[in-house]
Each structure stands twice: as C-alpha cells, then as structure tokens.
A = this chain, B = another copy of it.
C-alpha cells in the first residue's frame, strides 16, 4: 500500500496539518451554510443576496479542493466527512425555516468575520513551516475578506 510522503516532517508538518484541516472544515461548512441561506431566503432584497450566496458557495468549494489536495500533497489525510464537519465546525449555525434577508446578511457577516480571523491566524502559523501552504491560505483569506466586506456593506 502506497505511502504518501511530502516536503514536510515533524512539527512543521503538524502545524501545517492543523491549519489545513481547520481551513477545510471552515470551507465545507461555509459552502453548506451559504446554500442553506440561498434556499430559505425571503425578503425584499431576495435576488441579489440569493445570487451572492451562490458565489460564496462556489468560492468555498473551489478553495476546499485546493486546501484538501495540499493536505494530501504534504502527506496528511484531510477529513471532510459530514460527521467530522458537524462536530468540529466553528461556524455560527442558521436556524431552520425561512430566513429573512436582513438577518441573513448579519449572520453571514459575523460568520465570515470568524472565518477571516482564523484564516489570518493560519496564514501567520504557516509562514515559517511551509510558505507553499501559506500561499494557498492567503488566497482563501483574500476571497473571504472580500466577501466579508460585501456582506457588511449592505447591512
């Protein structure tokens, strides 16, 4: 059975593994939360927010793949199973049922604020052990910060 080895080992590998797994859970749950709001949204601003939530899901899906594949490339198993995500997610969860547009904007803004903070920490944490991983996390942070601004701007 194959053993995947990568360019890291020891503490560097552990630090990077932790950062990538944390980012993966953030991004998978973000994609699910955004879809949940995309579907259950109501209110006079329905259409622009409905469309923007889909952009959010799209970017979360694109980044989750890059992040998980970086994990494998450094020899670490990404864990994106539903149970793992449900147990370890740090995202504020949405209520069931219809979601009013104003509340969705506020909740997504808060939630992106949290994701942004954690991504910036991961950017700092991986600078020394693996600038290649860091570069992927920077790309995630750029997009998250931009979405954070856009949701905030309409609240």
Contact = CB atoms under 8 A, between A and B. Distances in A.
Interface string A57-86: 000010011001111111001111111111
Nearest to A67: B39
A117 B127 CA distance: 18
A17 interface: no
Interface in A33-68: 33, 35-36, 39-52, 61, 64-65, 68
A84 to B, nearest CB: 8
Contacts of A138: 131-132, 135
A60 to B, nearest CB: 12
A123 B45 CA distance: 33
A49 to B, nearest CB: 7
B142 A70 contact: yes
A155 B80 contact: no
Interface of A: 1-7, 28-29, 32-33, 35-36, 39-52, 61, 64-65, 68-74, 77-87, 89, 93-94, 96-98, 100, 113, 116-117, 120, 123-124, 127, 131-132, 134-136, 138-139, 141-142, 145-146, 148-150, 152-155
